[in-house]
Amino acid sequence: MPSSSPAAPDPGDGGTVAGRLGAPVLELPALLFGRYRLQNELGRGGMGLVILATDEELGQPVAVKVIPDVVLRDTEAIADLKREVLRGMSLLHPNIVRTHNFERDATTAAIIMEYVEGQTLADLKLQQTDGCFGPSEILPWLEQLCPVLEYAHRDAKIAHLDLKPRNLILTPEGRLKVADFGIASQLNESVNRLSASDKYSGTPPYMSPQQALGERPSHLDDIYSLGATIYELLTSKPPFFRGHILSQVLNVQPPAMMARLRELELGKRPALPPAWEQTVAACLSKEPAGRPQSAAEVLQRLNGRHGYQPSISPNEVVPVVPLRVTPAAPTDFSYRPKVQPAPSTTIATSRRVAPPPAVFKPRRRRLRLKRGVALAMVIILLAVGVAFIANRWKNVGSRWLPVEETHPPH
């Protein structure tokens, strides 16, 4: 979200911002949802309109991402978008643009996000003499970006799926902020599905082959996008930027970055370090197993460190974990963090502690009583058996004979 100076409301626009914002998807009121005072446009595209606004409840600037009308009319698309908004709200990191809320009324839906003053890396790149940076210039940004991706992949189990210079904002203080975690790709997917478009959920020059084919998203898609982003920042162009991009993403290995600089007649720039060439080439591997397995590993490789220990196992693929959404009224969509149970105060000990007598003594008495009754019944049965045998059998000459046979007949 590049910085913009707020514009004063136009008294002649009849209470809407259509004249001041050009031709938005919808005719928007100057006060959206009865709370957000719209000021001026920050950006627009097929996936919506982003407007700088003032939250009159809190007196703070916010960025309002207005959802395209085609998505607003589809119940399934709105449900998917709400799910991604919830996931975005769970990301708490100083280098991630915060997602505040999802708002909706009868005619409009919008995502309310943190407003970040600054410029995207795509805009900053265009201001460079050759349209690109050197490794030493972008390394401080990558030292901020890679921990963000590590946090999202390892801790939150969320992939960005639309990582590119346009979604990376540098503030005047030098802080890098990552925007649109998961939201942009979900909007792309919904708009393309509803409009029967053959486009993709991400941005083709930065998409991995697996994402382009619609396979299950994983953190290794972001590793590919990270490599494509570094490639563009160092050469002025992404790995594939002309012709049939999707076919090249699937089948063609991009040229080395120095070869691309010579191709664009930028060969007078200093040679890129071998570690950077090798790391970016590995990120752009067609197969996920050939890529660095984490963003932390990417940063370690760029710094020329050998013997790195990936924080994510090479056999582990971090999927985008679905999040259950509790149905709620459209205007009552809020994130409620899960409350963790209080830790137990029981102290472990190696000695066996006897149970309280008051609890277990009655049980023991009942058990002893049952055993005594059973023993008495056994004794009685044995006595009856012996008496029966004595009355019916007699020992004669070491032989046991029935009593009837021991008496001679008369």
Residues serving a catalytic function are 162
Q: Are 46 and 68 a contacting pair, CB within 8 Å?
A: yes
Q: Which residue has the tokens 């490789």?
A: 301
Q: Are 222 and 203 a contacting pair, CB within 8 Å?
A: no
AA letter at 96: I
Rounded Cα distance, 364 and 366, in Å: 5
Rounded Cα distance, 95 and 404, in Å: 106
Q: Are 379 and 373 a contacting pair, CB within 8 Å?
A: no
For residue 290 the two structure tokens come to 């050939």
Cβ burial of 183 (10 Å; 0-12, 13-18, 19+) is buried
Q: Which residues of 207-244 are buried (b: 16+ CB within 10 A; e: fewer)?
A: bbbbbbeeeebbbbbbbbbbbbbbbbbbbbbbbbeeee
Contacts of 380 (CB under 8 A, 6+ apart): none
